[in-house]
Structure 1
Amino acid sequence: MTFFTLARKNAWRKPLRSLLLMVCIAVAFLIYGLTASFLAGTQGTSAASDDILGVMSAGGRTQPLPLAHAARLATDPDIAALAAMTRLRGFVAVEKNVVAVSAADPERLIAVNGKGLGLTPNLVAAISGARDRVLVGRALMQAQGWTVGQHIAVTAFDVAKQDGSRDWRFEIAGVFEGENAASDTYFIIARYDYVNAARARGRDTVDAFIVRPREGVPPGELAARIDTLFANSAAPTRTQSEKQFLEAFLRQYADIGLIVDLVVGAAFVTLLMIVVNTMVFAVRERTFEIGVLKTLGFSRLRIMALILAETLFVFIVGGSVGLVLAKLATVFAGPDLGLVFSPLIAAKALAIIAALGLATGTLPAVNAMRTPIIKAFRTR
């Protein structure tokens, strides 16, 4: 009988107890997997870039910037690519069915963030064919059940057309996939010239400029220089990276990351207490057998390793089941809920499994290692 076989058999000495422990561990790691996937997918900060900068009004997102700012930005030699964007929020069919439309120049947008959005020259060519054509993100496309070539109408909340209507009609010309599963694709890309020419107010203004620095240029330094450039203008700016903007936007409502960490931390602390208590009693029941193993020549360190191996076995089985369930949940519900179970989440989970397994097994393992043989035999 090998060392690991002995550890496995000891772990299954009382199947019901071991099974219940594994269920507790599986539930804890299912919670961890789902909450971490929620942060990675729905929040989108994992896919947000530190290199792409957003130039917005210092007065807030509701204050537009003049399109003329683009000419001054273009003179900066450290800016590799520049695009202007206007945001249009509205609904399709019913007010609860909210969608977002980002109007930009397709050629400039692909130069700034074509890789992150998954834009290709074919997609840009498709949207360039007519001014009312749009590209729809994969997540939004699946959620709405739309198809390429379909005509849709977005009723804007606050952007009216020159004829007084708030109904913006578009033709779907293609679908953009995003760089990876964590990319935000729950929006529409429209042409800026179409929206700018048709809207009743705010013509030749933008909600933000998107800037890609030249290679080797620190984004933070470029952001500070851009804000200094417009500091004394009629429309001062605030420049942030894409990741900083998303994190600041989310913190307006709540620190979602902190809330998730507290929930997961509470689950793991409770789990730690349950497993430690159970393992202490399980090892105490086997005091006589531990004395026999020491009599047969098992060293103190080998006894300790045996107990640690048992707890690791229980955690590996239970944690793996929880992570598999979390992965399956993201596969089936991911497109609708934005859940992304990334390799980084799996790697962190495996590290937590190892840490918790060793932490819960340390106390009973040390007790077993320090138990004298004579005292162990007196328990029988």
Structure 2
Amino acid sequence: MNSKLQSRVEKVGDAVAAGNLTQLEFLALNSSLNLADGHARQELTAGQAKIIARLPDLWAEAQERTVHEIEREAQESYFHLLGQHSYPGGDGRVLSCYSSSVAMEIYARALATTTDAVALVHPTFDNIPDILTGVGLRLVPLEEDVLHGGDLPVGLLQSVGAVFVTTPNNPTGRVLSEEGLRGLAAQCAEHGVVLTLDTSFRGFDTDAHYDHYAVLEESGCRWVVIEDTGKLWPTLELKVGWLVRSANVGLPIAKVYSDILLGVSPLVLAMVRELAEDAADAGLADLHDYIAENRALLRTELAGLPDIRFVDEDTRVSVERVHVGDRYAADVWARMCEHSVYVLPCQKFHWARPAEGDRLLRIALSRSPAAIAAAARVLRSVLLDT
């Protein structure tokens, strides 16, 4: 390894213990074998390439039409694509943000004005606990098995002002079922707790395409949902995060939103509208097949390795977790960095108890099959030598 790369690996190696997952993802951005972040980085499909070729036309449209019109069309195309027909698009309760992380920051600041504690699903991507604790909120771990096992403990609900669930979860891929959401919303309504959903990976799993907004509105609970277009399409970080809220949420979300931004580019909104319409015309099914094929490719390349297993057998989201046996994932990660191949060790996903992720790697699948195969071969070699 050259001295510059050695320095970078050592610096970010410290981040495995003391920093965050985004720092590790940043290290990978300039590598051709970046399987670290969950953003879409595969090649454009033929349909998507045609949309990108029309960007000058979309630019002209964005100049000529009102932002409100284009925003409404983008929301309608995106939400309906994913089965969210009851989203509250007609009364200003859907706010467009640069990203889901910006939407989360806005929500966290608003939430911190009314409570000091949140029950957060465990494990999940570490920027969620970082953002929540960054505004002074105390976190109470909500284990996935508890979340999916039935009613939450009354004592937990009485100790927090919000319950925050990522569904499908990142990195496990577990989906909160319609029955599960209905029961959780009823409990939150009973205890006056804000139910918060991050659905950024919804597009990958049809089990998450039931109408969440119909369930939430019927429940009468106070709720917030964070949506994200950035995981679905390889648009070079041009994306929209949507911050959606109930009419009775009782939080200064609109005020905090206005403190941070005015809105997002109508050009990006027009592009999202076109991509959603393309996805509705078989493009989403093609994406599901693409991810499934990459998952099968990865599993095939690693087949037969002793002590290696895939811990989320039925997951459909665009990431895969690999248990590396008795090895430490951070050691495997460091060895892979020497070959300019980047994945994520999973300690930081387990934000309450990092040791639970010591032997897990997360691998992004929204990449070309050639990149998946090449990275898997390096991983296989490292695992055999570690």
Higher helix share: 1
TM-score, normalising length: structure 2: 0.25
Q: Which has the higher contact order (CA 8 A, sep 6+)?
A: 1
